[in-house]
Every structure is written in structure tokens, then in C-alpha cells.
Amino acid sequence: MCVLRWHGNTLHQVLHLVLETALGSNVKEYVAFYARDERSLGFACVVPECDKTTQVHIYPMPGRHATLVGNAAANGNEGAKVYAEPGQLVRHFAETCLTRWGVRLEKKLNLTPEQIEERLATIKNDLGGYMKMRSTVYTTSTQTAGERSITKGSKDIKFTAAKGADYIPEPGLSIEHILSNDHFKEIG
């Protein structure tokens, strides 16, 4: 899940740039949440190369591809809705960013800092369940050095290698669990 704030190009042109794994200087801010526990071939996430003027915010979130967009089932497909928190957090911060950029939205979650903290605590308590998701895949299983494979620019790297001064916050995808709402202070 990512949201982009750009200047100049149409959304179609910007999305084409994302697929090319590089974003130009017209993209002012890039905010993305990446599903840490996805292991399906064909679902590798892309961390684009960005212009030095672009503010790049990347966050790891437990779960699979479907978990982050709101499918709370343990298998990412169907069943009891037991892992709702990642999807709720992603939705909240997407709505927060879009609103900050001037988009009018109705029916927003508007989570309070306390509600965000509660969801982060629930996620931490359920880490074992999220780790089990790694063995359920849509296609064939794939990973790099025991972690989710990601594409950074034109290179395939392990999930936690996406970190450093190019990102806000600098730990990027290298942290196992986001401990507090303060981790999101730059976007929300």
C-alpha cells in the first residue's frame, strides 16, 4: 500500500513511474507500508529509487499482501477476521496523508494515538500468528536470506536491507515491530 503526493504529472504517469521502480523529482512525498510476512512468488514488493528531494517514508507491517488492505483472515483469503489491526493502521495513515495533501474524504477512521498504540500492542501479542502466515502463499514460496524478497531499484534484496538515511524514519523496513505511534510522527 502506498500513497504518493506529486506535482505535475497525471496519476497514470506517476503509477507508471512506480512500476519502473524509480520516481522523479515531481514526486514530493512517498509513503508506503510493506507486508513483512508475504512470501508468494510474484508478490515481491518494490521500494523505488527516489529523487533526493522526495521525502520517502517506508514502514514494515506484519501480515500478507491482503492483510494490509483489510483482509483480516489468517490465510489472507477467507475465514475468521482475526488480524484486522494492520489493515486498520494502513487505512488510517493513508487517509491521514491524503487529507493532509488536500483530498476530501468521508467516513475516515480517525484513530487516536491511544487507539494506534492499542493496535500496535495487539499486533505485538500476535506476532506468532503473523509469522505462521509466511507458510501460506498464493503461488510458490520465495524469500531472500530467510526474509521477504524486495526489489530496490533494479536489485533484489532482503526485506530488512531497505533502511538508511534515504528513509524517514531511518530504520525503514529493518525493525521487527513498530512499538509506538511516535514511529509515524512524520506522516500523521
Tens of pLDDT, residues 16-39: 444 557 888 999 999 999 999 999
pTM score above 0.75: yes
Q: For residue 152, what pLDDT is reported? A: 87
| Cα-based distances in Å from 112 to 1, 84, 117 | 21, 16, 9
Q: For residue 20, what pLDDT is reported? A: 56
Which of 40-49, 51-60, 78-87, 111-120 has the weakest average pLDDT?
Answer: 40-49
Confidence of residue 13 (pLDDT cuts 50, 70, 90): very low
User: Could you tell me which residues come within 8 angstroms of residue 169 by beta carbon, excluding any fewer than 6 positions away?
Assistant: 57, 183, 186
Query: Degrees (nearest 5) of the Cα angle 79, 121, 112?
Result: 95
> How far is 180 from 118, CA to CA, in rounded Å?
9
For the chain, the helix, strand and coil percentages under 3-state DSSP, each to the nearest 5: 30, 20, 45
pLDDT of 15 over the 50 cut? no
> How far is 20 from 155, CA to CA, in rounded Å?
13
Number of domains into which the chain is organized: 1
Q: What are the backbone dihedrals phi and psi of residue 108, each rounded to the nearest 5 degrees, phi first?
A: -80, 155
* Domain span at 116: 2-184
Q: For residue 4, what pLDDT is reported? A: 52
Cis check: omega of the bond before 60, within 30 degrees of 0: no
Confidence of residue 10 (pLDDT cuts 50, 70, 90): very low
pLDDT of 180 over the 90 cut? yes
- Run of H or E residues at 22: strand 22-23
pLDDT of 44 over the 80 cut? no
